[in-house]
Structure 1
Amino acid sequence: MSERVIAFVEQWVTNNVHAGAPAEGEDIQAKSLAQQCRAEALAAGIPAAEIDDEFDDLTAFMSAQIQEANEREEGRS
């Protein structure tokens, strides 16, 4: 388990995944977020292979994070 990959992705999600994605656009947004995360990870010296070792499907992970952000936002209302 790569602690640096997990820490990077968790911090990236905290900074970049926010509530507000409509359900019909969630897949597109999740794919875009996954691509952005991979690009920034690579720039930080973390190769895609390391991310793939820790996250079977980064797009699905981003989708789940979007859903969680939306649920937290709904809970505040």
Structure 2
Amino acid sequence: MSEHAIEFLQEWIGEKVHCQSSLDRIEEQAESLAKECAAKAAEAGIPLEDIQEEVGDIQELIASRLEEAAEADQDEMNSD
């Protein structure tokens, strides 16, 4: 994967992927964000295949990051 594609994905995930819903809605949110990511990558001239070559299914990656964010939020609320 090109350096440009890696930078794009890291920045995009950093900006867009954070806990916005409960754990039971993560798959729905991940699907929506994966479509948005693919569209933005295409606008930036980055083929989705370049990204998926490195990370696999971007929807699964995004779902994983959303789960991590949701669990961190839960941990934070439980510690208060």
For normalisation by structure 1, the TM-score amounts to: 0.85
RMSD (Å) for aligned C-alpha atoms: 1.4
Amino acid at match of 1:45: G
Instruction: Give CA deviations for 1:17-76 in whole Å, capped at 9, x if unaligned.
Output: 111322221111111111100100110110112122112111100001101111222333
Distance (Å, rounded) in 2 between the aligned partners of 1:11 and 1:28: 22
Q: Which has the larger radius of gyration?
A: 2
Contact 2:23 2:70 in 1 (8 A): no
5+ residue gaps in structure 1? Answer: none
For normalisation by structure 2, the TM-score amounts to: 0.82
5+ residue gaps in structure 2? Answer: none
Count residues in correspondence. Answer: 77
- Stretches (4+) displaced over 3 A: none
